[in-house]
Structure 1
Amino acid sequence: MGASGDTAPVAAPVDTEEVLTVPNAISAARLLLVPVFAVLVVTERDGWALLVLAVSGASDWVDGYLARRWQQTSALGRVLDPAADRLYIAATLVGLAWRDIVPWWLVGLIALRDVVLAAMVPVLSRHGYGTLEVHYLGKAATFCLLYAFPLILLAQVGGTVGAVAEPIGWAFAWWGTALYWWAGLQYTHQVRLLVRDDRYAPGVARPGPAPQAAGS
């Protein structure tokens, strides 16, 4: 606090160029646990699968906290974290479909959305754009799906816990899938507008930060 009573400005965090950091090591460990988790789900060892999922969720919070506290945020960390989230969603969804707990068409519906968004990447690249920023709709969809399928998995333990977890899990699943596609449609609409209004030559980097889009 200065003499005038004004709060001193806080500098924005700067990414570290280091790759071998504790937060990145934790994120990498989360990724290594994905195949372990997938095997546990498919072989119906749900208790162990839920334990791995709980450890993964806790480590996700820990690596973010340490990255901020130790000023070790990095571009690699911002890639590893969402990659781990998507892989856990995919592993849970495919495992549950394999066990006939969720329909395969739901797997296809969610996967198709990612295929559509992946097709937009070369279009953006040709017009000088990088990856567009994540929109709140995409974040909300990922949040719903991250909770949906673990809750549906938890429902398989039966009893009161299962009876409570199942409807909540399916509610998150339907909301998450709807938001996932809504975010994807917003993303494709944003790309269409950027391409239509682009006044720059293809392949030339467009100045300034990329506009916000609805991807996740």
Structure 2
Amino acid sequence: MASTVVPRPQHLLTVAFDRSAGWAAFASAALGVLYAVAFVVLRDPGLSAATLMLGALTSTAVFVALHARTSPIAPPAALWALLVAMLGALGAMVHGGFDLANVLHPPAVSSPDLPNAVDPRGLLTFGLSGLGTLAFARLLTRDARTPAWLAPLGVLSGVLSLALYVGRLVVLNPASPLIAFPALAAGFVVSPAWYIGLGLALLRD
């Protein structure tokens, strides 16, 4: 007799993905801190490239969960936020993969002053990622399940990310306050706290 496959209820599948996305948010927070340490403190290009790439990958699961959470509030806005955030994450993955490939096999001729062709001065990594974070944070202000403190933290994270992109675009010196302050605040405090808060919210629900 052939066995009958009983499909799992849709809400159980959503809960299962939210749990996975919650743990992915914790991983994104940890990888974000490690990226900041590698880029700002250790100045290790290999480690910073690898953590940028992996952190962007884990964040994609978080963005999908955020889209599912905010879509009932405003479907077009949630879809736009998902597309922008995903483009930012994919750009960060490509940027990290490009840098890692150059570290493992240095090209014969290279110029560190040239911007990345795919992600010039962090247009995707910081610019679009910041816009996506702002869009999701705005939607979360209307979600009764989300803690009241989480949306403002997301707004601050998005603003710092955009400020970091503008700083990298205008000033090349990483020691400049236009780059150093947003990088330190976002990398070590605000962005990890944002992802930890998202992870707690997704796991709690």
Ranked by relative contact order (alpha carbons within 8 Å, sequence separation 6 or more), the top structure is: 2
TM-score per shorter chain, which class?
0.3 to 0.5
Larger helix proportion, structure 1 or 2? 2
Per the normalisation by structure 1, the TM-score is: 0.36
Rg (Cα) greater in structure: 1
